[in-house]
Amino acid sequence: MTQIHVLNGPNLNLLGKREPEIYGAATLEDVEALCRSACAEGIDIRLRQSNHEGQLIDWIHDARETAAGIVINPGAYTHTSIAILDALNAYAGPVVEVHISNVHKRESFRHVSYVSLRADGVIAGLGVEGYAAAVRYLVQRIR
């Protein structure tokens, strides 16, 4: 079955518990349910989270063979990881970068994104709804 991979970086396992005034009350399980309801028949969601850069890179490599599109919230690696950018550059399908918070309203180090150099689209500040918007976009791109 066609798959959309939803990749989440460091600290996003704590979603719902971590800085709820910034990231809200929804958990990663809620994000998965949201992505599934935004998805369409014949397309499956594979949501994964890791606190490790190399693991995220391995999953992006895996997506080369298995994913028709990627939604990625790289967490803080957004602002630091050339290696994640390089991995995404080796992926041919559409990529949407999602941030729950509006990173542009926050500290200046969050205004830089290496991943944005590759992403087809960037969503920031819509809360977890940003994941659903990204999935809806990929569904219409894939079809």
Give catalytic residues, as residue numbers: 23, 99
DSSP track, 49-89: E-S-HHHHHHHHHHHHHH-SEEEEE-GGGGGT-HHHHHHHH
Of 28, 68, 103, 115, which one interacts with ligand DQA (CB under 6 A)?
103
80 touches ligand DQA (CB under 6 A): no
CA-based R_g, the chain, Å:
14
- In the three-class reduction of DSSP (H, G, I as helix; E, B as strand; rest coil), residue 42 is classed as coil
Spatial contact of 18 and 44, defined as CB atoms under 8 Å apart = no
Q: Are 64 and 91 in contact (CB under 8 A)?
A: yes
What is the closest distance, in whole angstroms, from the C-beta atom of residue 42 to ligand DQA in the complex?
29
Q: Does 110 bind ligand DQA (CB under 6 A)?
A: yes
* 50 makes contact with ligand DQA (CB under 6 A): no
Q: Does 76 bind ligand DQA (CB under 6 A)?
A: yes
Taking the least distance from each CB to ligand DQA, the nearer of 2 and 55 is 55
Binding site for ligand DQA (CB under 6 A): 11, 73, 75-76, 78, 99-101, 103, 110
